[in-house]
Amino acid sequence: MEIKLTNQMKCAIGEQLVSAHLIAHGWPTVNVNSSINNFKGIDLYCQNGIDGLDSTEVAQIQVKTTFQGKNSGISIGMNCKQAANRDFLENNIKGPWVFVHVKELESLSVDFYILTRKQLIDLVYGLHHWYLYEWERRPCTESLGKSVACIRIEHILGKQDKSQFSDTCFDNPMRREPLPLNNWNNIWVK
């Protein structure tokens, strides 16, 4: 039997799976969307439980869920021009992001890619700045800048992109980073 899920249900699956993993690490977690539907920029608040419930360290986590292959785009909730603006990213990305790749729904075969705030900003900025201004060495058009910004799991894994129209290459900063697969400690890296 094929299961039909709405986008909202897919997002909820990712958020619940991430929340369960965080709690299993001893980090109390609250889903912000249970109080305010689609809260801007944050899905989960998580408390670092190292000091017990007295801990004051809190992470503001964004969760993105995909049921597609590793080379499919995952919308990151902004347009390409915003994604190529480092100041915009610094002001709007609040904390770490967890990308949930659901490989098989029935068995819940899932990979989690946890990026620090800095890793995400560097990746999103680098990719979209290259795409808008260097990929084809052409001026950025208004419609191109307004298109939906996406990243792919293969970008998170450090894959380089090369333009088929010029000799430019996206120098992916994730190539120099530890693999973010199931790296839950990235939640607390500043």
Give the domain ranges of the chain: 7-188
What does the DSSP 8-state code read for residue 67? -
Given a cut of 60, is residue 137 above it in pLDDT? no
CA 154 to chain centre: 12
Judge residue 162's burial from the number of C-beta atoms within 10 Å of its C-beta, 0-12 exposed, 13-18 middle, 19 or more buried.
exposed
CB-CB neighbours of 102 under 10 Å: 18
What are the E-state strand segments in 80-133? 97-104, 109-115
* Per-residue pLDDT tens over the stretch 145-189: 688 999 999 999 998 877 666 667 788 999 988 889 999 999 999
What CATH number has the domain spanning 7-188? 3.40.210
- Report pTM: 0.89
* Per-residue pLDDT tens over the stretch 82-114: 999 999 999 999 999 999 999 988 888 999 999
* Integer Cα distance of 111 and 132 in angstroms: 30
pLDDT at 59: 95
* Integer Cα distance of 93 and 66 in angstroms: 19
* Integer Cα distance of 149 and 81 in angstroms: 8
Contact 19, 56 (CB under 8 A): no
Given a cut of 90, is residue 37 above it in pLDDT? no
Residues in Cβ contact with 74 at an 8 Å cutoff, skipping those fewer than 6 apart: 64, 66, 68, 99, 150, 151, 152, 153
